[in-house]
């Protein structure tokens, strides 16, 4: 208990005196995970809705791949992204490995299947005749998609929260593609692992508590947006 208490006090101290390194790491964590979640939101929701509204050969295979991707181990994602970004890889000429951009790419790969799979389920759970009713009123394809998304907004928001939770808490891919470089690619999860390896458990606990606070704050905001207008 003493160790946990020391970690809490250390976290409060770091936040109170606005430790420059901790603030920098926290901001980078939020920026990387935020960008990855936004891009994954666009890709995931559009993919999920496209699969829910269209029938075509190979659709079941794509859905199976998405469902498999929802449980991808981050270290496997990190491995493949590293291979693609390696200097001899297909994207090596862009020199993105060991940069914040590489972490964003890895986190997009992690979050997109989660958001796509849950969005697909959300649209499929709508009343079967709702699509026909909307089309019978003269709605365009774009209006149909918008109205269906509005009807499924609560589970879609839950999908976004799940995607954000999946990327802000992952560690394997971030270390592999980012390199945990101080002042450049070090985020809260990789910094926590580093301090734990050094035996600095108070600092590791402090970083862990800050990560939990950050995750709670973002999810509290998303929950507020989700619950402020419940469907009747």
Q: Name residues whose C-beta falls within 8 Å of residue 156's C-beta, 6 or more positions apart in sequence.
A: 45, 118, 119, 122, 149
Q: What's the burial of 10, exposed, middle or buried (CB within 10 Å: 0-12/13-18/19+)?
A: buried
Average pLDDT over residues 177-192: 95
- Please indicate, yes or no, if residue 151 is contained in any of the structural domains: yes
Average pLDDT over residues 2-19: 75
Query: Domain tally for the chain?
Result: 1
Are 22 and 195 in contact by the 8 Å Cβ rule? The answer is: no
What Cα–Cα distance (Å) separates residue 139 from each residue in 70, 133, 143, 155?
A: 33, 9, 6, 23
- Please indicate, yes or no, if residue 90 is contained in any of the structural domains: yes
Kind and range of the H or E run holding 157: helix 153-168
Are 168 and 104 in contact by the 8 Å Cβ rule? The answer is: no
Helices (H), 17-140: 20-53, 59-69, 74-85, 100-124, 130-136
- Please indicate, yes or no, if residue 219 is contained in any of the structural domains: no
Average pLDDT over residues 188-216: 89
pLDDT category at 229 given cuts 50, 70, 90 is: low
DSSP 226: H
Containing domain of residue 143, as a range? 21-183
In the prediction, which pLDDT does 52 show?
A: 92
- Please indicate, yes or no, if residue 202 is contained in any of the structural domains: no
Average pLDDT over residues 213-231: 83
Query: For residue range 39-94, what is the model confidence (pLDDT) as tens digits?
Result: 999 999 999 999 999 999 999 999 999 999 999 999 999 999 999 999 999 999 99
4 or 101: which leads in pLDDT? 101
- Please indicate, yes or no, if residue 221 is contained in any of the structural domains: no
In the prediction, which pLDDT does 112 show?
A: 97
Q: Name residues whose C-beta falls within 8 Å of residue 98's C-beta, 6 or more positions apart in sequence.
A: 177, 178, 179, 181, 185
- Please indicate, yes or no, if residue 116 is contained in any of the structural domains: yes
- Please indicate, yes or no, if residue 228 is contained in any of the structural domains: no
CATH number for 171: 1.10.3720.10
Are 83 and 152 in contact by the 8 Å Cβ rule? The answer is: no
Mean pLDDT over each residue of the chain, to the nearest integer: 90
Query: For residue range 93-145, what is the model confidence (pLDDT) as tens digits?
Result: 999 999 999 999 999 999 999 999 999 999 999 988 888 888 888 888 889 88
216 pLDDT higher than 70: yes
How is residue 3 written in tokens? Answer: 């160790």
27 pLDDT higher than 80: yes
In the prediction, which pLDDT does 230 show?
A: 56
């Amino acid at each position: 208990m003493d160790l946990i208490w020391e970690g809490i006090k250390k976290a409060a101290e770091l936040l109170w005196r606005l430790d420059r390194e901790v603030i920098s790491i926290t901001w980078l964590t939020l920026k990387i995970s935020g960008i990855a979640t936004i891009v994954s939101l666009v890709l995931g929701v559009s993919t999920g809705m496209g699969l829910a509204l269209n029938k075509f050969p190979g659709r079941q295979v794509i859905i199976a791949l998405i469902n498999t991707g929802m449980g991808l181990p981050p270290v496997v994602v990190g491995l493949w992204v590293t291979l693609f970004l390696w200097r001899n890889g297909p994207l090596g000429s862009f020199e993105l490995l060991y940069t914040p951009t590489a972490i964003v790419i890895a986190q997009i790969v992690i979050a997109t299947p989660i958001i796509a799979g849950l969005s697909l389920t959300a649209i499929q759970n709508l009343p079967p005749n709702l699509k026909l009713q909307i089309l019978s009123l003269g709605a365009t394809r774009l209006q149909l998609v918008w109205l269906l998304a509005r009807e499924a907004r609560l589970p879609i928001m839950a999908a976004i929260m799940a995607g954000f939770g999946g990327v802000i808490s992952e560690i394997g891919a971030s270390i592999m593609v980012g390199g945990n470089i101080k002042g450049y690619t070090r985020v809260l999860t990789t910094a926590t692992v580093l301090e734990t390896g050094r035996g600095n458990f108070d600092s590791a606990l402090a970083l862990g508590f800050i990560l939990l606070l950050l995750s709670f704050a973002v999810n509290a905001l998303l929950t507020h947006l989700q619950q402020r207008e419940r469907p009747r």
